[in-house]
Amino acid sequence: MSELQQEVARRRTFAIISHPDAGKTTVTEKLLLFGGAIQLAGTVKGRKSARHATSDWMELEKQRGISVTSSVMQFPFQDRIVNLLDTPGHEDFSEDTYRTLTAVDSALMVIDAAKGVEERTIKLMDVCRMRATPIMTFMNKLDREGRDPMELMDEVESVLRIRCAPVTWPIGMGKRFRGVFHLLDDRVHLYSAQHSGRAQSGEIVEGLDNPRLDELLGDQARELRQEVELIREAGNEFDEAAYLRGELTPVFFGSAINNFGLRELLERFVRHAPPPQPREAEPRPVAPEEPEFSGFVFKIQANMDPNHRDRIAFLRVCSGAYRKGMRIRQVRTGKDMKIANAITFLASDRDQVETAYPGDIIGLHNHGTIQIGDTFSEGEALKFTGVPNFAPELFRRAVLRDPMRMKALQKGITELCEEGASQLFRPLQGNDLIVGAVGALQFDVVAFRLKNEYGVDCAFEPVNVATARWVRCEDPRRLEQFRERNAQSLATDVAGELAYIAPSRVNLQLTEERWPEVEFRATREH
Ligand code: GDP
């Protein structure tokens, strides 16, 4: 095997999908702990607040108690390199989450055992299903009274339409929680509550029939044996191929806050989860083992370092290797750039990266020239497909309090919208700047950042736009006619693409009927 093949084979790139409060942050912390990336749990949140202290626009996050940013953490585990892509928890930033899910090879679903399948999880699961993303499941908070484990799995199967195969099985829950039985290893891992950050190693009992279990668990040992017999007869067995096809999810039980049950998950994760996969692109799919570098941008984010007010474009490496100082081509513009100072995301700190392989994420400094969805290569005209841009559902007009700051406002809004959380539409007629967003909170974030980063005091007012559609037409003459007749409802977005901004849904429908040759798209694929 070549060095590149080896590096591809050892990489695992994934994201966590969950409903807010299910325990995503806690799970992240503990996983990093196993990777030796941080010494003490609590550091993820601690690190966030340290950043808050130095970055004033994130003050808003702190005030709201939500995370509007997401980041990438890389850590080694056994002989593997794990990349964990964090996603914002707040639903107003769900577009960001969807795009992040296009950059992973698998996902971990975290479910609160007391609450079962919740609404956000259902939505995220739909996104995973579109790409048949393999999913492992962690049932969290077993230290609390929760729902019956059998019932939880039934719910996942019926609501999320994926078969469940328990890999570990809980012994009691709440006050009676004693640990988990590992069905594949035939081992019992005993639970001891441990809130401290240390990676936990409770007692392990080999074999379900071991008399030591009766000594330790009394009646619960018998209950466990009965339950295991039942699930072995009636439940699904773990089947790696079905997992990789996205049809079956291996299920683990535990308590993230007590750092219990996650090691078993991580061990299976690095073993079974898929390494970087070939990716769809035009004009041909790209395999990770190809020697030439390629990748795409799935996210743009303000630099967390206030001394560097540029933005970072997050690029997923899809093939070949990135080496410090190499020249890569931005396919959309045909421009070559020398990338000397890309950043990587080792969980301890962001470091200058020397080399990055498929599955890894690198951060490129972006001065407004890189857009979400951009493909980079060593020269080949490739275009990765499938990174969606969703039509916003809320629209406001940006109104400047100080008319002299118009230039700064335009610059600020354009740059912030390039990050992808909100979208800028400039009507073909007039000088309005219309911002569209999927969630209302995004307007607050844009206003806040305009003030802090661009010194622009701006308000957002209602505007008569109900929905937007990106417009395409094969016939250039017909498109020209469409433009002339509908100029008052047409705008260009940040990328210069034409969009129809409809004053109402009815208007949109009528226009669609009137112009059958014109395509109205709800997503613009980058
Ligand atoms: P997120 O919103 O999904 O990132 O969830 P967090 O990790 O912030 O957790 C939400 C809440 O659940 C916090 O108060 C955690 O302390 C708590 N929590 C997380 N894991 C567990 C667990 O295993 N047991 C219990 N009892 N609480 C937990």
Per-residue pLDDT of the chain (526 residues; tens, 9 = 90+): 899 999 999 999 999 999 999 999 899 988 888 877 544 333 344 444 443 333 344 454 444 433 333 478 888 899 999 999 987 666 655 677 888 999 999 999 999 999 999 998 998 898 898 889 999 999 999 999 999 999 999 999 999 999 999 999 999 999 999 999 999 999 999 997 655 545 456 789 999 999 999 999 999 999 999 999 999 998 899 999 999 999 999 999 999 999 999 999 999 999 999 999 999 999 999 999 999 999 999 988 765 555 556 678 899 999 999 998 899 999 999 999 998 888 777 655 445 567 899 999 998 887 768 888 899 999 999 999 887 766 778 899 999 888 888 888 888 888 887 776 678 899 999 888 999 987 777 788 888 888 988 899 999 999 999 989 999 999 999 999 999 999 999 999 888 899 999 999 889 999 999 999 999 988 776 5
Question: Among the atoms of ligand 1, which is closest to the Cα of residue 27?
Answer: 7
pLDDT given for residue 63 in this prediction: 45
Atom 25 of ligand 1: nearest residue by CA position: 141
Question: Among the atoms of ligand 1, which is closest to the Cα of residue 256?
Answer: 23
Residue 264 DSSP one-character state: H
**Residues annotated in a binding site:** 18-25, 86-90, 140-143
Q: Residue 378 Cα, ligand 1 centroid: separation in angstroms?
A: 44
**Residues annotated in a binding site for GTP:** 18-25, 86-90, 140-143
Ligand 1 neighbour 42 (Cβ under 6 A): no
The interface predicted TM-score of the complex, written ipTM, equals 0.99
pLDDT given for residue 91 in this prediction: 61
Ligand 1 neighbour 18 (Cβ under 6 A): yes
Question: Among the atoms of ligand 1, which is closest to the Cα of residue 28?
Answer: 7
Architecture of domain 279-384: 3-Layer(aba) Sandwich (3.40)
Ligand 1 neighbour 20 (Cβ under 6 A): yes
Ligand 1 pocket test, candidate residues 33, 257, 265, most atoms within 8 A of CB: 257
Instruction: Determine whether domain 18-55+108-272 maps to CATH 3.40.50.300.
Output: yes
Ligand 1 neighbour 22 (Cβ under 6 A): yes
Statement: the pTM of the whole predicted model exceeds 0.95: no
Same fold yes or no, 18-55+108-272 and 279-384? yes
CB 56 within 8 A of CB 452: yes
Q: Residue 256 Cα, ligand 1 centroid: separation in angstroms?
A: 7
Which residues contact residue 487 at a Cβ distance below 8 angstroms, ignoring those fewer than 6 apart? 428, 429
Q: Residue 254 Cα, ligand 1 centroid: separation in angstroms?
A: 12
| Tokens coding 416 | 């912030």
Best CATH choice for the domain 391-525 from the list 3.40.50.620, 3.90.1150.10, 3.40.50.2000, 3.30.70.3280: 3.30.70.3280
Ligand 1 neighbour 87 (Cβ under 6 A): no
pLDDT given for residue 486 in this prediction: 95
| Tokens coding 3 | 């060095």
CB 282 within 8 A of CB 56: no
CB 312 within 8 A of CB 51: no
Ligand 1 neighbour 180 (Cβ under 6 A): no
Ligand 1 neighbour 511 (Cβ under 6 A): no
Q: Residue 23 Cα, ligand 1 centroid: separation in angstroms?
A: 4
pLDDT given for residue 249 in this prediction: 98
Instruction: State how beta strands 467-473 and 294-302 pair.
Output: unpaired
Say how far apart CA 433 and CA 395 lie, in whole Å: 10
pLDDT given for residue 199 in this prediction: 47
| Helix%, strand%, coil% for the chain, nearest 5 | 30, 30, 40
Question: Among the atoms of ligand 1, which is closest to the Cα of residue 18?
Answer: 3
| Tokens coding 36 | 């030796």
> Domain locations in the chain?
18-55+108-272, 279-384, 391-525
pLDDT given for residue 389 in this prediction: 67
